[in-house]
Structure 1
Amino acid sequence: MGNESINWDKLGFDYIKTDKRFLSTWRDGQWEKGTLTEDNVLHISEGSTALHYGQQCFEGLKAYRAKDGSINLFRPDQNAARMQRSCTRLLMPHVPTDMFIEACKDVVRANERFIPPYGTGGALYLRPFVIGVGDNIGVRAAPEFIFSVFCIPVGPYFKGGMKPHNFVISSYDRAAPQGTGAAKVGGNYAASMMPGAEAKKNGFADAIYLDPLTHSKIEEVGSANFFGITHDDQFITPKSPSVLPGITRLSLIELAESRLGLKVTEGEVFIDKLDQFKEAGACGTAAVITPIGGISYQNKLHVFHSETEVGPVTQRLYKELTGIQFGEIEGPAGWVVKV
């Protein structure tokens, strides 16, 4: 599919087969050099641990066409580090940081024609993943592993500008207290599908999960991280062993402090103390920030800034972060990696 047939304004978040993807296999204690391939189908053993025991993890990051025509990757070293932590948790071999970043760069270069033009708000979404493969049946680490990176062009998450969404507190847990919540593994997402579908059926954007131990504190918003802005301009985001440490979250923490002069706290966000926030949002790679209009809990909707308008602090954070990603604003040292 040539990019002449892509309508950049209509791009959503859908699978599109691009030209090349990176593929490497781990066997005999090491990763092969790896290669770019046109084949988008994996041929794996029916006994693969990825299929039976969920031995797999993944990442998500974007490549951006910058204002000056160059191509930006945003903090890929952080994605590499998080993937290594996920691999540790699931007994999988680490993909070294330099191998991870080079694979991402190779995939971006090989699919450059799919990068949405500057000004469209779109980007090239990269999906690196590691899966356990090879002949096996017992519950144990796989004899072999595959590391792959593929990409798809994606449009801006919000067509026609950012707008608030309402969310509902779920009675389900996405992860156990000492489980895999902090690792980016498929099982966490599988656990969230039913509560997410239920939330959407009831007219909400997604479900919000409370801490699995006491069900008294907000942990995650769908598959994104929560943050709130207090009346005295503190930026608060949940800290917990079952929260996935997002790269967008990490970046907003740093920008809130260094650029907006907000006091930042990683702490507890009690569900019965939502009054302390004048604004709230969910942050992640896909949307960057989804402003939270209101949260429904025990059949009561708590509204923050507004159900229709985005709060000023949220707006500023969004502008700062996306400005850095698209090369309009100078970012902190090392955040932008040129392809």
Structure 2
Amino acid sequence: METFYQPTNNGEASNRETEDIYAKMDWDKLGFDVIPTDYMYIMKSNEQDGTFSNGALVPFGTIDINPHSAVLNYGQGLFEGMKAYRTTDGEVQIFRPEENALRMRMGAERLLMPSPSVEQYVEAVKQVVRANKRWVPPHGKGALYLRPLLFGSGSVMGISPAPQCTFLIYTNPISNIYKGRTESLSLLIDNKLPRAYPGGTGGVKNIGNYAPVFQVVKEAKAKGFSDVLFLDAVEHKYIEEVSSCNAFIVKGKVISTSPTLGTILPGITRKTIIELASDLGYQVKERKISVKELLRANEVFCTGTAVGISDVGSVTYKNKCIKFKTGPDTVTQKLYDLITGIHAGLLEDKKGWIVKID
């Protein structure tokens, strides 16, 4: 494998830095801060046939990248989000990694990139978790966040896909509480700026999907809201996604979420909740949901790797604030307890979703 990474100063210095950070770790105060861990995983595609091989663990550090690279010039890149959890008996496990691998392959096809096979992806994830196992927080304190990246690292001048791509995974311990939030989400519906357009890349985890909403989310947070719930780009009346997660509504025994028809990301947590809710006897519908219908819901919640399952306490639309049921006696809490119990090994995994790291 061609070496293009550069550990901080040198491997020994980088090791000393992470040792110092680890020695000072207070798992009770864990948040969503940048925390470098020991190793990352890197694998590059073959320029001739696009296959990936010779991946390796390397010390965490900066990487060298050519200014002509397609990712820097044309945004040819994808990312995934995953977590490794520690169980009550100290074991470490990951959740449905093959689903993330399949989603990355779908995104790679959309952006004309080669991608690792499902087997290569899962094996790489297992290796990087095993190498950074000490950074998986104690049970109940958080999780080790995994960030697999796939990007056009090869050089181009004209508008074209890169001749070579890089697959990279780094890790970062994070809290169970999303960005330090201790209360239910308060969402602002934005009816001016859509998050994604038909025919665009809203249905894949493209790196370019996120920066365009920075401004509107920043403005919403300055007004006291947690995040923004975006509407469809055509009629501006159907809910789609929050900036980084899927949205669900609950009305009686019916749970609804917007369909993934190209503008909405097919979330792994979303898919899991649909299956778990169906198993519990709820009727789950993937369909268009109007703002009017949302505002009449009993409960609203969001799903995603980072947010897990987060209840929505209120939604504000055209200066009108509607509150929803939250707390222990809710469908949202029931689903939260179920999925987090599987993540942490507290409940039996009857689906074969868990992969243990030895």
1:160/1:61 CA distance change after superposition, 3 Å: closer
Query: In structure 2, which of residues 299, 319, 323 is the aligned counterpart of residue 299 of structure 1?
Result: 319
Aligned letter for 2:54?
Answer: K
TM-score, normalising length: structure 1 = 0.95
Which of 214, 225, 244 is residue 265 of structure 2 equivalent to? 244
Measured against aligned partners, the alpha-carbon deviations of 1:189-242 in whole angstroms (never above 9, x if no partner) come to: 011111111111111001111011111100001210000110x21111111320
1:62 maps to 2:110: no
1-structure distance, mates of 2:56, 2:189: 44
Closer, same or farther in 2 for the Cα pair 1:311/1:115, shift >3 Å?
Answer: same
Look up the match of 2:160.
140
Is the 2:52–2:115 contact (alpha carbons within 8 Å) kept by the matching residues of 1? no
Query: Are the counterparts in 2 of residues 163 and 310 from structure 1 also a CA contact under 8 Å?
Result: no
Find the aligned partners of 1:90 and 1:14 in 2 and give their Cα distance.
30
Alignment of 1:199 with 2:220, yes or no, is yes
User: Is the Cα contact below 8 Å between 2:229 and 2:241 reproduced in 1?
Assistant: yes
Give the root-mean-square deviation of aligned CA atoms: 1.5
The amino acid of 1:217's aligned partner reads Y
> Structure 1: how far apart are the matches of 2:188 and 2:256?
20
CA contact (8 A) 2:94 2:355 kept: yes
- Aligned-pair identity (%): 40
C-alpha distance in 1, partners of 2:343/2:182? 17
User: SS at the partner of 1:99?
Assistant: helix
Q: Would the alpha carbon gap of residues 73 and 161 (structure 1) be closer, same or farther in structure 2, given more than 3 Å must change?
A: same
Map 1:30-69 to 2 at 5 A: 30-69=51-90
Query: 2:14 matched to which residue of 1?
Result: none
Verify the 8 A CA contact 1:291 1:310 in the aligned structure 2.
Answer: no
Is 1:335 matched with 2:335?
A: no
Aligned to 2:9: none
Match of 2:37 among 18, 24, 28: 18
What is the total number of aligned residue pairs between the two structures? 334
Is 2:28 the partner of 1:9? yes
Change in CA separation of 1:165 and 1:39 when aligned onto 2, cut-off 3 Å: closer
Compute the TM-score of the two structures, normalised by the length of structure 2: 0.90
Deviations 1:249-306 (A, max 9, x none): 1111111111x21111011110012244100011111121121111111111121215
Q: Secondary structure at the match of 1:147?
A: strand
Distance 1:252 1:331 in 2: 14
Task: State the partner residue of 2:10.
Answer: none
Contact 1:162 1:290 in 2 (8 A): no
- Quick one: which of 108, 112, 115 aligns to 1:94? 115
Aligned counterpart, 1:114? 135
- Pair 1:322–1:161, CA change in 2 (3 A): farther
Residue 289 of structure 2 is matched in structure 1 by 269
Listed as ranges, the gaps of 5+ residues in structure 2 are: 1-17
Deviations 1:8-49 (A, max 9, x none): 011111221111000011122221311111142110110001
Asked if 1:257 is matched to 2:278, the reply is yes
Residue 4 of structure 1, CA deviation: 2.9
TM-superposed CA distance for 1:163, in Å, is 3.0
Residue number among 317, 321, 325 corresponding to 2:335 in the alignment: 317
How big is the shift at 1:151?
A: 0.3
* Local SS of the residue matching 1:34: strand
Equivalent pair of 1:129/1:147 in contact (CA under 8 Å)? yes
- For residues 92 and 144 of structure 1, the distance between their equivalents in structure 2, rounded to whole angstroms, comes to 8
Question: Structure 1 stretches of 5 or more lacking a match?
Answer: none
Distance 1:161 1:135 in 2: 41
Amino acid at match of 2:159: V
Between the aligned partners of 1:179 and 1:159, the Cα distance in structure 2 is 29
1:330, CA displacement in angstroms?
Answer: 1.1
